[in-house]
Protein backbone atom coordinates (compact mmCIF):
# COMPACT_ATOMS: atom_id res chain seq x y z
CA UNK A 1 0.00 0.00 0.00
CA UNK A 2 1.34 3.28 -0.96
CA UNK A 3 0.02 6.61 0.33
CA UNK A 4 0.04 9.74 -1.76
CA UNK A 5 -0.46 13.28 -0.71
CA UNK A 6 -1.80 15.69 -3.27
CA UNK A 7 -1.44 19.37 -3.00
CA UNK A 8 -4.44 21.34 -4.40
CA UNK A 9 -4.22 24.96 -5.46
CA UNK A 10 -6.84 27.64 -4.83
CA UNK A 11 -6.88 30.88 -6.90
CA UNK A 12 -8.47 34.18 -5.81
CA UNK A 13 -9.32 36.82 -8.47
CA UNK A 14 -9.86 40.42 -7.55
CA UNK A 15 -10.94 43.46 -9.66
CA UNK A 16 -8.87 45.79 -7.59
CA UNK A 17 -5.66 43.97 -8.13
CA UNK A 18 -4.62 41.88 -11.05
CA UNK A 19 -2.71 39.57 -8.89
CA UNK A 20 -3.71 36.02 -8.61
CA UNK A 21 -3.34 34.49 -5.26
CA UNK A 22 -2.73 30.86 -4.95
CA UNK A 23 -3.66 28.86 -2.01
CA UNK A 24 -2.55 25.47 -1.44
CA UNK A 25 -4.60 22.93 0.36
CA UNK A 26 -3.24 19.84 1.57
CA UNK A 27 -5.33 16.87 1.07
CA UNK A 28 -4.39 13.48 1.70
CA UNK A 29 -5.60 10.95 -0.64
CA UNK A 30 -5.06 7.45 0.13
CA UNK A 31 -5.24 4.96 -2.62
CA UNK A 32 -4.73 1.28 -2.31
CA UNK A 33 -3.29 -0.11 -5.46
CA UNK A 34 -2.15 -3.61 -5.69
CA UNK A 35 1.45 -3.85 -6.21
CA UNK A 36 1.38 -6.09 -9.19
CA UNK A 37 -1.86 -5.27 -11.08
CA UNK A 38 -2.40 -1.45 -10.51
CA UNK A 39 0.00 0.83 -12.28
CA UNK A 40 0.90 4.06 -10.80
CA UNK A 41 -1.31 6.87 -12.04
CA UNK A 42 -0.65 10.43 -11.31
CA UNK A 43 -3.74 12.57 -11.06
CA UNK A 44 -3.57 16.17 -12.01
CA UNK A 45 -4.91 18.52 -9.49
CA UNK A 46 -8.43 19.85 -10.12
CA UNK A 47 -8.69 23.46 -10.96
CA UNK A 48 -11.30 25.17 -8.93
CA UNK A 49 -13.03 28.38 -9.93
CA UNK A 50 -11.55 31.44 -8.47
CA UNK A 51 -13.64 32.95 -5.74
CA UNK A 52 -15.63 36.12 -6.57
CA UNK A 53 -15.74 39.03 -4.29
CA UNK A 54 -18.96 39.90 -2.48
CA UNK A 55 -19.44 43.29 -4.20
CA UNK A 56 -19.15 41.70 -7.61
CA UNK A 57 -21.68 39.05 -6.61
CA UNK A 58 -24.18 41.71 -5.52
CA UNK A 59 -23.81 43.63 -8.82
CA UNK A 60 -24.38 40.49 -10.84
CA UNK A 61 -27.45 39.60 -8.78
CA UNK A 62 -28.96 43.09 -9.20
CA UNK A 63 -28.27 43.04 -12.95
CA UNK A 64 -30.00 39.69 -13.24
CA UNK A 65 -33.02 41.01 -11.35
CA UNK A 66 -33.25 44.24 -13.42
CA UNK A 67 -32.92 42.58 -16.82
CA UNK A 68 -36.17 40.51 -16.69
CA UNK A 69 -38.15 43.56 -15.41
CA UNK A 70 -37.08 45.66 -18.41
CA UNK A 71 -37.86 42.84 -20.79
CA UNK A 72 -41.34 42.45 -19.25
CA UNK A 73 -42.04 46.19 -19.64
CA UNK A 74 -40.96 46.09 -23.29
CA UNK A 75 -43.21 43.10 -23.96
CA UNK A 76 -46.19 44.81 -22.26
CA UNK A 77 -45.69 47.94 -24.39
CA UNK A 78 -45.53 45.86 -27.57
CA UNK A 79 -48.73 43.99 -26.61
CA UNK A 80 -50.53 47.26 -25.93
CA UNK A 81 -49.49 48.59 -29.33
CA UNK A 82 -50.77 45.46 -31.04
CA UNK A 83 -54.00 45.14 -29.06
CA UNK A 84 -55.26 48.76 -29.15
CA UNK A 85 -54.02 50.45 -32.32
CA UNK A 86 -57.34 52.33 -32.73
CA UNK A 87 -57.08 54.06 -29.33
CA UNK A 88 -54.16 56.16 -30.42
CA UNK A 89 -55.92 57.14 -33.74
CA UNK A 90 -58.32 60.11 -33.44
CA UNK A 91 -61.29 59.44 -35.76
CA UNK A 92 -62.76 62.87 -35.13
CA UNK A 93 -60.08 64.35 -37.35
CA UNK A 94 -61.72 62.69 -40.38
CA UNK A 95 -65.12 64.41 -39.94
CA UNK A 96 -64.15 67.71 -41.52
CA UNK A 97 -62.28 66.35 -44.57
CA UNK A 98 -65.01 63.76 -45.28
CA UNK A 99 -67.78 66.37 -45.12
CA UNK A 100 -65.74 68.71 -47.29
CA UNK A 101 -65.22 66.02 -49.94
CA UNK A 102 -68.92 65.07 -49.96
CA UNK A 103 -69.97 68.74 -50.20
CA UNK A 104 -67.67 69.39 -53.12
CA UNK A 105 -68.89 66.23 -54.86
CA UNK A 106 -72.54 67.29 -54.40
CA UNK A 107 -71.83 70.76 -55.77
CA UNK A 108 -70.08 69.25 -58.77
CA UNK A 109 -72.94 66.86 -59.53
CA UNK A 110 -75.52 69.64 -59.16
CA UNK A 111 -73.59 71.89 -61.53
CA UNK A 112 -73.13 69.14 -64.11
CA UNK A 113 -76.67 67.73 -64.15
CA UNK A 114 -78.62 70.82 -63.07
CA UNK A 115 -76.85 73.63 -64.93
CA UNK A 116 -74.40 72.38 -67.50
CA UNK A 117 -76.62 69.68 -69.05
CA UNK A 118 -79.75 71.88 -69.07
CA UNK A 119 -78.30 75.13 -70.31
CA UNK A 120 -79.81 76.31 -73.62
CA UNK A 121 -77.88 75.68 -76.78
CA UNK A 122 -76.62 78.68 -78.71
CA UNK A 123 -78.51 79.71 -81.83
CA UNK A 124 -75.55 78.80 -84.00
CA UNK A 125 -76.13 75.14 -83.11
CA UNK A 126 -79.88 75.33 -83.69
CA UNK A 127 -79.94 77.30 -86.96
CA UNK A 128 -77.71 76.62 -89.90
CA UNK A 129 -77.63 80.30 -90.83
CA UNK A 130 -76.75 83.47 -89.05
CA UNK A 131 -79.45 84.68 -86.68
CA UNK A 132 -78.79 88.27 -87.75
CA UNK A 133 -80.67 87.55 -90.98
CA UNK A 134 -83.89 86.48 -89.19
CA UNK A 135 -86.59 89.10 -89.63
CA UNK A 136 -88.90 89.45 -86.64
CA UNK A 137 -92.54 89.96 -87.60
CA UNK A 138 -95.48 90.50 -85.31
CA UNK A 139 -98.03 87.73 -85.64
CA UNK A 140 -101.46 89.14 -84.99
CA UNK A 141 -103.32 85.95 -85.88
CA UNK A 142 -102.19 83.89 -82.91
CA UNK A 143 -105.60 83.55 -81.29
CA UNK A 144 -107.74 83.47 -84.42
CA UNK A 145 -107.75 79.68 -84.58
CA UNK A 146 -109.81 77.73 -82.02
CA UNK A 147 -107.97 75.79 -79.37
CA UNK A 148 -108.44 72.02 -79.80
CA UNK A 149 -108.59 71.38 -76.06
CA UNK A 150 -111.24 74.01 -75.40
CA UNK A 151 -114.91 73.59 -76.19
CA UNK A 152 -117.77 76.01 -76.08
CA UNK A 153 -119.72 75.95 -72.83
CA UNK A 154 -123.01 74.12 -72.91
CA UNK A 155 -126.09 76.20 -73.40
CA UNK A 156 -128.27 76.33 -70.30
CA UNK A 157 -131.26 74.02 -70.31
CA UNK A 158 -134.24 76.27 -69.82
CA UNK A 159 -136.90 74.72 -72.10
CA UNK A 160 -139.27 72.13 -70.67
CA UNK A 161 -140.40 69.17 -72.76
CA UNK A 162 -144.21 68.91 -73.11
CA UNK A 163 -143.94 65.11 -73.16
CA UNK A 164 -142.08 64.28 -69.96
CA UNK A 165 -141.07 67.56 -68.30
CA UNK A 166 -137.34 67.18 -68.98
CA UNK A 167 -135.33 70.33 -69.69
CA UNK A 168 -133.47 71.05 -72.91
CA UNK A 169 -131.54 74.01 -74.27
CA UNK A 170 -133.26 76.47 -76.57
CA UNK A 171 -131.29 75.20 -79.57
CA UNK A 172 -132.27 71.60 -78.84
CA UNK A 173 -135.91 72.54 -78.39
CA UNK A 174 -135.96 74.44 -81.70
CA UNK A 175 -134.68 71.34 -83.50
CA UNK A 176 -137.22 69.10 -81.77
CA UNK A 177 -140.13 71.34 -82.70
CA UNK A 178 -139.44 70.65 -86.40
CA UNK A 179 -140.33 66.97 -86.08
CA UNK A 180 -143.27 64.92 -84.92
CA UNK A 181 -143.18 62.31 -82.12
CA UNK A 182 -143.00 58.67 -83.22
CA UNK A 183 -145.06 55.96 -81.46
CA UNK A 184 -143.81 52.35 -81.74
CA UNK A 185 -145.59 49.17 -80.65
CA UNK A 186 -142.86 47.03 -79.03
CA UNK A 187 -143.02 43.32 -78.28
CA UNK A 188 -142.32 42.39 -74.64
CA UNK A 189 -142.43 38.60 -74.93
CA UNK A 190 -139.64 36.60 -73.33
CA UNK A 191 -138.43 35.39 -76.74
CA UNK A 192 -138.29 39.01 -77.96
CA UNK A 193 -135.80 40.14 -75.33
CA UNK A 194 -133.51 41.95 -75.15
CA UNK A 195 -135.35 44.91 -76.66
CA UNK A 196 -133.71 47.54 -78.84
CA UNK A 197 -133.94 51.33 -78.57
CA UNK A 198 -136.31 51.44 -75.62
CA UNK A 199 -133.87 53.41 -73.43
CA UNK A 200 -134.10 56.36 -75.89
CA UNK A 201 -137.88 56.78 -75.50
CA UNK A 202 -139.30 59.90 -73.87
CA UNK A 203 -142.41 58.06 -72.65
CA UNK A 204 -143.03 54.30 -72.20
CA UNK A 205 -146.49 52.84 -71.59
CA UNK A 206 -146.88 49.17 -70.62
CA UNK A 207 -150.18 47.28 -70.50
CA UNK A 208 -151.49 43.73 -70.53
CA UNK A 209 -152.40 42.25 -73.91
CA UNK A 210 -153.36 38.63 -73.29
CA UNK A 211 -152.53 35.76 -70.92
CA UNK A 212 -150.31 37.90 -68.73
CA UNK A 213 -148.15 39.06 -71.68
CA UNK A 214 -147.56 42.80 -71.93
CA UNK A 215 -146.60 45.11 -74.78
CA UNK A 216 -144.94 48.48 -74.72
CA UNK A 217 -145.80 51.74 -76.44
CA UNK A 218 -142.72 53.89 -76.81
CA UNK A 219 -142.99 57.61 -77.68
CA UNK A 220 -139.73 58.89 -79.27
CA UNK A 221 -139.08 62.59 -79.78
CA UNK A 222 -135.79 63.88 -78.28
CA UNK A 223 -133.71 60.92 -79.53
CA UNK A 224 -133.87 58.85 -82.70
CA UNK A 225 -132.53 55.26 -82.38
CA UNK A 226 -131.60 53.58 -85.66
CA UNK A 227 -133.01 50.28 -84.44
CA UNK A 228 -136.14 49.86 -82.36
CA UNK A 229 -138.22 46.76 -81.67
CA UNK A 230 -139.18 44.03 -82.11
CA UNK A 231 -142.43 45.62 -83.32
CA UNK A 232 -145.85 43.99 -82.91
CA UNK A 233 -149.54 44.59 -83.68
CA UNK A 234 -151.70 47.43 -82.37
CA UNK A 235 -154.47 47.17 -79.79
CA UNK A 236 -157.30 49.64 -79.14
CA UNK A 237 -156.10 50.82 -75.77
CA UNK A 238 -152.62 51.61 -77.16
CA UNK A 239 -154.25 53.50 -80.03
CA UNK A 240 -156.10 55.73 -77.61
CA UNK A 241 -152.93 56.46 -75.60
CA UNK A 242 -150.94 57.18 -78.74
CA UNK A 243 -153.58 59.52 -80.20
CA UNK A 244 -152.90 62.03 -77.42
CA UNK A 245 -149.49 62.75 -79.05
CA UNK A 246 -150.73 62.77 -82.70
CA UNK A 247 -147.60 60.77 -83.65
CA UNK A 248 -146.20 58.85 -86.58
CA UNK A 249 -147.34 55.32 -85.67
CA UNK A 250 -145.17 52.23 -86.33
CA UNK A 251 -146.83 48.81 -85.89
CA UNK A 252 -147.19 45.46 -87.64
CA UNK A 253 -150.88 44.65 -87.88
CA UNK A 254 -153.78 45.55 -85.63
CA UNK A 255 -156.80 44.05 -83.87
CA UNK A 256 -159.82 43.90 -86.24
CA UNK A 257 -163.29 43.32 -84.77
CA UNK A 258 -166.93 44.19 -85.48
CA UNK A 259 -167.11 46.19 -82.28
CA UNK A 260 -165.98 49.79 -82.88
CA UNK A 261 -164.81 49.98 -79.29
CA UNK A 262 -162.10 47.38 -79.95
CA UNK A 263 -161.62 47.66 -83.71
CA UNK A 264 -158.12 49.12 -83.73
CA UNK A 265 -157.65 48.67 -87.49
CA UNK A 266 -160.72 50.79 -88.28
CA UNK A 267 -160.15 53.35 -85.58
CA UNK A 268 -156.64 54.17 -86.89
CA UNK A 269 -158.31 55.91 -89.83
CA UNK A 270 -161.22 57.15 -87.73
CA UNK A 271 -158.84 58.94 -85.36
CA UNK A 272 -156.77 60.32 -88.26
CA UNK A 273 -153.53 58.68 -87.03
CA UNK A 274 -150.54 59.17 -89.35
CA UNK A 275 -149.68 55.49 -89.55
CA UNK A 276 -146.51 54.13 -91.13
CA UNK A 277 -147.11 50.46 -90.30
CA UNK A 278 -144.03 48.48 -91.50
CA UNK A 279 -142.63 50.98 -94.03
CA UNK A 280 -138.83 50.74 -93.76
CA UNK A 281 -138.98 47.74 -91.37
CA UNK A 282 -136.79 44.64 -91.65
CA UNK A 283 -136.35 41.23 -90.01
CA UNK A 284 -133.23 39.94 -88.30
CA UNK A 285 -132.44 36.38 -87.19
CA UNK A 286 -129.56 37.55 -85.02
CA UNK A 287 -129.26 35.50 -81.85
CA UNK A 288 -131.54 32.76 -83.19
CA UNK A 289 -134.65 34.95 -83.28
CA UNK A 290 -137.69 33.78 -85.21
CA UNK A 291 -140.96 35.44 -86.25
CA UNK A 292 -142.84 37.24 -84.84
CA UNK A 293 -140.02 38.31 -82.48
CA UNK A 294 -137.49 39.47 -85.11
CA UNK A 295 -138.99 42.52 -86.89
CA UNK A 296 -137.42 45.96 -86.36
CA UNK A 297 -137.90 49.51 -87.59
CA UNK A 298 -136.15 52.90 -87.29
CA UNK A 299 -137.30 56.24 -85.86
CA UNK A 300 -135.03 58.06 -88.31
CA UNK A 301 -136.76 56.32 -91.25
CA UNK A 302 -140.12 57.36 -89.81
CA UNK A 303 -139.07 61.02 -89.69
CA UNK A 304 -137.78 60.85 -93.26
CA UNK A 305 -141.08 59.37 -94.40
CA UNK A 306 -143.05 61.98 -92.44
CA UNK A 307 -141.03 64.76 -94.06
CA UNK A 308 -141.98 63.48 -97.51
CA UNK A 309 -145.60 63.29 -96.41
CA UNK A 310 -145.59 66.77 -94.85
CA UNK A 311 -145.86 65.42 -91.30
CA UNK A 312 -142.71 67.07 -90.01
CA UNK A 313 -144.04 69.61 -87.51
CA UNK A 314 -144.74 69.26 -83.84
CA UNK A 315 -148.52 68.95 -83.38
CA UNK A 316 -150.14 71.96 -81.77
CA UNK A 317 -152.93 69.82 -80.33
CA UNK A 318 -150.70 68.23 -77.70
CA UNK A 319 -151.63 69.16 -74.18
CA UNK A 320 -148.56 69.00 -72.00
CA UNK A 321 -148.69 67.27 -68.69
CA UNK A 322 -148.29 69.10 -65.43
CA UNK A 323 -145.18 67.78 -63.73
CA UNK A 324 -144.26 68.23 -60.13
CA UNK A 325 -140.77 69.43 -59.38
CA UNK A 326 -138.44 67.05 -57.62
CA UNK A 327 -138.20 67.69 -53.92
CA UNK A 328 -134.91 68.66 -52.33
CA UNK A 329 -132.76 65.82 -51.15
CA UNK A 330 -133.27 66.76 -47.51
CA UNK A 331 -137.07 66.67 -47.99
CA UNK A 332 -137.18 63.30 -49.72
CA UNK A 333 -138.40 60.29 -47.79
Residue 319 to residues 238, 243, 314, 332: CA-CA distances in angstroms? Answer: 18, 12, 12, 29
CA pseudo-torsion sign 169, 174, 175, 179: positive
Bridge-based pairing state of the strands 248-250 and 182-187: parallel
CA nearest neighbour of 160 among 138, 185, 177, 140: 177
Those residues whose C-beta lies under 8 Å from the C-beta of residue 290, and which sit 6 or more positions away, are 191
CA pseudo-torsion sign 14, 19, 23, 24: positive
- Report the C-alpha gap between 236 and 267 in whole angstroms: 8
> What torsion, rounded to 10 degrees, do the Cα atoms 246, 247, 250, 256 define?
0
- Report the C-alpha gap between 173 and 208 in whole angstroms: 34
What confidence score (pLDDT) does residue 251 get? 93
Residue 276 to residues 35, 131, 181, 192, 305: CA-CA distances in angstroms? Answer: 180, 74, 13, 22, 8
Q: Please list the pLDDT of the chain residue by residue as tens digits (333 residues).
A: 444 444 444 545 544 444 444 444 444 444 444 444 445 545 555 555 445 455 555 555 555 555 566 666 666 666 655 555 555 666 677 788 888 888 988 888 887 777 766 666 776 666 666 556 555 666 656 556 665 666 677 888 888 888 988 899 999 999 999 899 999 999 999 888 899 999 999 999 999 988 888 999 999 999 989 999 899 999 999 999 999 999 999 999 898 999 989 899 999 999 999 999 999 889 988 888 888 888 999 999 999 999 999 888 888 878 777 777 778 888 886
Yes or no: domain 180-309 corresponds to CATH 3.50.90.10: yes
Q: Give domain limits for the chain.
A: 7-39+48-68, 180-309
Phi-psi region of 287 (alpha: psi -120 to 50; beta: other; left: phi over 0): left
Neighbours of 278 (CB within 10 A): 14
Amino acid sequence: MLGYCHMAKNFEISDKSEKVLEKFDMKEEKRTIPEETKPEVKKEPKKEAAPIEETQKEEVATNKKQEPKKEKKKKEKKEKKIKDPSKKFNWKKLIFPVTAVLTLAGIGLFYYFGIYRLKPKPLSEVFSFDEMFIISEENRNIFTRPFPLLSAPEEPRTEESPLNGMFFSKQEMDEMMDRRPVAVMINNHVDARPLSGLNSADVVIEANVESGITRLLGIFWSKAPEKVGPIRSLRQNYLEWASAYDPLLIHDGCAKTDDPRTNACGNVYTYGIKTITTIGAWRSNEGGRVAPHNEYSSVTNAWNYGERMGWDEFPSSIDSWDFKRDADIKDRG
